[in-house]
Amino acid sequence: MNRKFIFFSDSQFIEEFNDFADRLVYFQQDYEKFSRLVIWPGDKAIFVISELLKITKEKYEIFYILRSSRCNNEEARYKMEAVDLKTITEFLEKFGTYFEYDSRHRIVIRSSDERLTYFVFDEENIILAYGNVEEFKLLLNRLGFDEYNKPLMYPEPHMHLYQEELDKYEDKVLSYFPWVKSKLMEVDR
């Protein structure tokens, strides 16, 4: 099965992408009020998110953001609050293949701590990690990741994939929790 996106022979930045595509890397982005890690997990995204969650504070809030439906479901934000680590890990593992190989969605998981710790797993196969980035870096290094010294570049243009063989999971995800549904926000698009 293809990864979440494909690119073309005439796309730009192919060489830059190929430099990290077969490695486990992260890049730290520093802003005025916060820092975050941009993590390229290869085919280990669900494992990496689960490991990151283990060093954060329960309970969790999870958003399943359906950006494009192949099954006539409403494109929306689906939210579940007060989820414990065991429940969220089981959810991620049950639908891991769907989350890792299909671009119709995004997942956001927030910890209940006061540092605004949260993780975004997006349609580009990137994990964005907000919170105690130094602690996250230590964990990632133990998991075999390397700190990358430049921003992660994707081939442009590229195309997101919505895998027909994974359609069966879309309805199952939407019926897994008693989600609270709300409209997509501009940032979700």
What is the rounded CA–CA span in Å between residue 13 and residue 166? 29
Report whether 40 contacts 20 (CB < 8 A): yes
Report whether 128 contacts 36 (CB < 8 A): yes
Residues near 30 by beta carbon (within 8 Å), at least 6 away in sequence: none
Average pLDDT, the chain: 94
pLDDT of residue 1: 55
Q: 154 pLDDT exceeds 90?
A: no
pLDDT of residue 115: 67
pLDDT digits (tens, 9 = 90+) for 29-52: 999 999 999 999 999 999 999 999
10 Å Cβ neighbour count for 86? 9
Q: 3 pLDDT exceeds 80?
A: no
Report whether 160 contacts 3 (CB < 8 A): no
Residues near 119 by beta carbon (within 8 Å), at least 6 away in sequence: 49, 52, 53, 108, 109, 127, 128, 129, 130
Q: 121 pLDDT exceeds 90?
A: yes
Domain total of the chain: 1
Of 2-11, 155-164, 167-176, the range with the highest mean pLDDT is: 167-176
Which of 170, 112, 100, 131 is closest to 34 using CA atoms?
A: 131
Domain hosting residue 113, numbered range: 5-188
pLDDT of residue 110: 95
What is the average per-residue pLDDT within 138-166? 93
What is the average per-residue pLDDT within 65-72? 95
What is the average per-residue pLDDT within 59-84? 96
